[in-house]
């Protein structure tokens, strides 16, 4: 579960984790924290490794987490991959319980999402999750929920 305020910008060295494919976004990422309104902040590497990529940042000691009852993790899974359409389900969690959920559809023929959440961070996380999924699929590695 990635932090819902983490905007991934680039892949990190995958050797930093024992099982990088199991990470919530299908790999480890560097990125920007958007927990405080319009402010963009690049957390220190150890925070990105332990909080941003893994979610539950409030419990993990992130000093930037809003703490006002905000959602604290996001999960993704591929629900369907057929006929050129990839359906990605997401669940935004708050206190380990579902808070918001939905499905984002990607059309391979058009090379674009058919549906996109209004939240730019969630949309970016879905994009990198899809890219990780497609990369693993091309390599012939069993894919599904990372």
For tokens 């990369």, the residue is: 135
Percentage of residues in the chain with pLDDT exceeding 70?
Answer: 90
pLDDT tens by residue, 87-115: 999 999 988 889 999 999 999 999 999 98
Q: Is 93 helix (H, G, I), strand (E, B) or coil?
A: strand
Q: How far is CA 57 from the centre of its chain?
A: 14
Percentage of residues in the chain with pLDDT exceeding 90?
Answer: 47
């Amino acid at each position: 579960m990635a932090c819902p305020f983490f905007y991934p910008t680039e892949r990190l060295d995958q050797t930093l984790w024992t099982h990088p494919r199991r990470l919530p976004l299908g790999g480890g990422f560097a990125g920007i924290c958007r927990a405080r309104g319009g402010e963009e902040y690049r957390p220190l590497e150890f925070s990105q490794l332990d909080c941003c990529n893994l979610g539950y940042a409030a419990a993990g000691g992130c000093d930037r987490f809003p703490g006002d009852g905000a959602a604290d993790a996001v999960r993704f899974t591929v629900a369907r991959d057929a006929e050129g359409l990839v359906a990605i389900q997401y669940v935004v969690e708050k206190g380990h319980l579902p808070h918001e959920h939905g499905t984002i559809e990607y059309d391979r023929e058009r090379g674009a999402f058919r549906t996109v959440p209004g939240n730019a961070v969630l949309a970016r996380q879905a994009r990198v999750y899809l890219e990780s999924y497609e990369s693993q699929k091309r390599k012939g590695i069993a894919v599904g929920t990372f």
